Structure 1
Amino acid sequence: MSGDGSDAGGAADEDGDGDDRDDGADRGYRHVAVDDVANTPNPTRAKRELDEAVGASLFGCNYYEADPGERVPWGFHRHPDHEELFYVIDGELAVETPGRTYRVGADEAFFVPAGAPNRAVAAGDEPCRFLAVGAPKDADGAVISEECPACGAEADREYDVEPRGEGADPDAEEYVLRCAACGAETDRFSG
């Protein structure tokens, strides 16, 4: 945006508030600052659901910040009817598939076809910032296929959303994952 309240295309700040983010909202346009989108509970430093913030209904788009070694939520999983694309902004993402592990660096993208199992982790020595985009949005359900440390079964995970422990923000939540075979807690994470 230039100093006169217009963007590079010449569109002015029509409502005079010095900010064009809500201009055109009645036509469905949305403009958000990523840092203004609430962090969603997950095992990375940040997950911001941009699709939810702008009201997208046909595709999903999540922004992640992950420190080295942090995994992308849900672990080894697949989306039966949902394609995914990871775009690395900076850092490096290691995407593990049944056949091999792919190293995806800055300004690179990795496509995961519907039904294909994968898991990702921030690799290298620097934090990784990336986008995960998927479609169709209404088919986003993930099927986890990891061995349960308690019972040894290769099982899906069920989850509950619970309030965070004592002393935490009363509105803060965390995800609690449980083995679908035995009910044992397998993971817990918050934003």
Structure 2
Amino acid sequence: MHTVSLDEQDSRMGPASTVYALTDALGASNLALNYYELEPGESTAYGYHTHEKQEEVFYVESGELTFRTPNGEVTVGEKELVRFGPGEFQQSRNTGDDTAVVLAMGAPQDPGETVLRRECEACGGETRHGVELAESGDEILVRCEECGDVTGRYE
């Protein structure tokens, strides 16, 4: 058994103000687990994406998240959950006026290939992107795989 306190976690760089990667802290081997505190407009993901092998469940403790899906937008409110199966595209965004507190669970822990899509101004549309740590190590870059432009920076 492992127990952890959120008060003892360090937030990692990412698309939300607070991101605690709890998988390793808990010693989980079959489940990916992340805790988020998202300010209005922030997301749990770097873009519209899918995981080849992993299903994801999001529990919204407080606030609300609106998910972009192939079938349109779906808003998940306080004390609600949503599940995405392997291969289902989605991206969340805090569309509320308050901080959203969210727990994201993924199984199996290894998501397989992740396909990430974002708007690229240089390419004139939504393209496939990759995520990388900047050479300086102080930010995460999201880069268009077609033209190489950086379309997002996260500290």
TM-score by length of 2: 0.92
Unaligned runs of 5+ in 2: none
Distance 1:62 1:141, change over 3 A: farther
| Correspondence 1:123 to 2:95 | yes
When the two chains are superposed, the root-mean-square deviation of aligned CA atoms in Å is 1.6
Distance 1:140 1:127, change over 3 A: farther
- Corresponding residue number in structure 2 for 1:9: none
Greater strand proportion: 2
Shift, 1:163, TM fit: 5.9
Spell out, residue by residue over 1:70-90, the C-alpha distance to the aligned partner (whole angstroms, 9 max, x if none): 122211111111100000001
Partners of 1:40 and 1:46 within 8 A in 2: yes
Return the alpha-carbon distance in structure 2 between the equivalents of residues 136 and 184 of structure 1: 32
Spell out, residue by residue over 1:15-58, the C-alpha distance to the aligned partner (whole angstroms, 9 max, x if none): xxxxxxxxxxxxxx211101211211112110101112112111
Distance 1:59 1:128, change over 3 A: same
| Correspondence 1:183 to 2:148 | yes
Q: Which has the larger radius of gyration?
A: 1
- Corresponding residue number in structure 2 for 1:110: 82
- Corresponding residue number in structure 1 for 2:30: 58
Q: Which has the higher contact order (CA 8 A, sep 6+)?
A: 2
TM-score by length of 1: 0.76
Unaligned runs of 5+ in 1: 1-28, 165-171
Provide the identity percentage: 35
SS of match in other structure, 1:137? coil
Distance 1:176 1:187, change over 3 A: same
Shift, 1:141, TM fit: 4.3
| Correspondence 1:99 to 2:57 | no
- Corresponding residue number in structure 2 for 1:143: 115
Letter in 2 for 1:87: Y
| Correspondence 1:35 to 2:16 | no
Partners of 1:91 and 1:124 within 8 A in 2: yes
Letter in 2 for 1:143: V
Return the alpha-carbon distance in structure 1 between the equivalents of residues 12 and 151 of structure 2: 19
Aligned pairs, number: 155
Shift, 1:111, TM fit: 0.5
Return the alpha-carbon distance in structure 2 between the equivalents of residues 102 and 145 of structure 1: 19
Partners of 1:176 and 1:185 within 8 A in 2: yes
Partners of 1:94 and 1:122 within 8 A in 2: yes
Return the alpha-carbon distance in structure 2 between the equivalents of residues 43 and 146 of structure 1: 13
